[in-house]
Amino acid sequence: MKLYLVPSPIGNLADITYRAIKVLEDAALILAEDTRTSGVLLKHYNINKPITPYHQHNEHKVLQHLVQQMQGGKTMALITDAGTPGVSDPGFLLVRECVRAGVPVECLPGATAFVPALVNSGIPMNRFSFEGFPPLKKGRHTLFTQLATDERTLVFYESPQRLVRTLSDLITYFGPERQCCVSRELTKMFEENKRGTLQEVHDYFSEKGVKGEIVLIVEGKQ
C-alpha cells in the first residue's frame, strides 16, 4: 500500500532514474496525466503495466476510488506528461487525500524543469520564489505588483503563446533593465537559454517567435 510520485523526463527520455523504472515496473497501477504521452515513455522502457488517466479534469471524480484501492493494499505510481507530479501538474489533491487516509506517499527525486533553468540562468539562486504559471486575468495585476519589490529570484512557467505578453507586462511592472533568462526546450535537441534584460529578451522573442516549453527566470529587485 503506497503512492509513489515518479518524475518523468521533461524532454530527453534518457533522463529517468533506474529506481523510477523499477517503481513503474512494480506498481499495480500507473496513473498518468495523458496515457498517450506516458505510453511513449513506458513503451521505450518495455514497461507493461495497467495505466489509467489521472488529470485535472477527472481528479475529483476518481480521487476517493483510487485512495480506497490503495487502502486495500494496491501500490500506485503517478506520472505526469513531464517533470515531477504536483509541480504545476496534477498530484496535490491525491497526495493530500492519501496523507489524510493514512496511505504512505513517497516522491522520487528526478526531472523538474525549473531546476536546470534556474541553475544555468546565471541569476542568483540562493533565494528564489517559484510562481508557476502567472494568472491570465484575475490576480495578474496584484501578483506582478507584489513581486515587483521582491528581492528573491522569481521562477515562472509560461506557454509559448503568452511569453511575449508576459515579458511585456513584467517590463511594465519591473522595469526594462531587470535581468532574466528564458529557457525553452530543456534537454531537447533545440534547447535554448536566452539571457539579458527583460527588454532585450522581449525584443528577441518578439522578432524570432516562440516554440516549446518555457521557464522564465527573473532577477529579484536589487
Q: What is the pTM of this model?
A: 0.92
- Superfamily of domain covering 114-218: Tetrapyrrole methylase, C-terminal domain (3.30.950.10)
Is residue 17 classed exposed, middle or buried when 0-12, 13-18 and 19+ CB atoms within 10 A define those classes?
middle
Q: What is the spatial distance between Cα 40 and Cα 211, in angstroms, rounded to a whole number?
A: 22
pLDDT, average across residues 151-158: 98
Per-residue pLDDT reduced to its tens digit, 41-85 = 999 999 999 999 999 899 999 999 999 999 999 999 999 999 999
pLDDT at 83: 95
CATH code at 2-107:
3.40.1010.10
pLDDT, average across residues 6-30: 97
Q: List, by residue range, all CATH 3.30.950.10 domains of the chain.
A: 114-218
Q: In which order are the strands placed within the sheet that holds 105-107?
A: 51-53, 29-32, 75-79, 2-5, 105-107
pLDDT at 99: 97
Per-residue confidence at 207, pLDDT binned at 50, 70, 90?
A: very high
Give the amino acid at 43.
Answer: K
pLDDT, average across residues 150-154: 98
pLDDT at 11: 93
CA of 60: how far to CAs of 5, 65, 77, 79, in Å? 18, 10, 18, 17
Which of 57, 54, 80, 79 is CA-nearest to residue 67?
54
The percent of residues above 90 in pLDDT, for the chain, comes to 98
Helices 140-147, 163-174: inter-axial angle, 10-degree rounding? 50
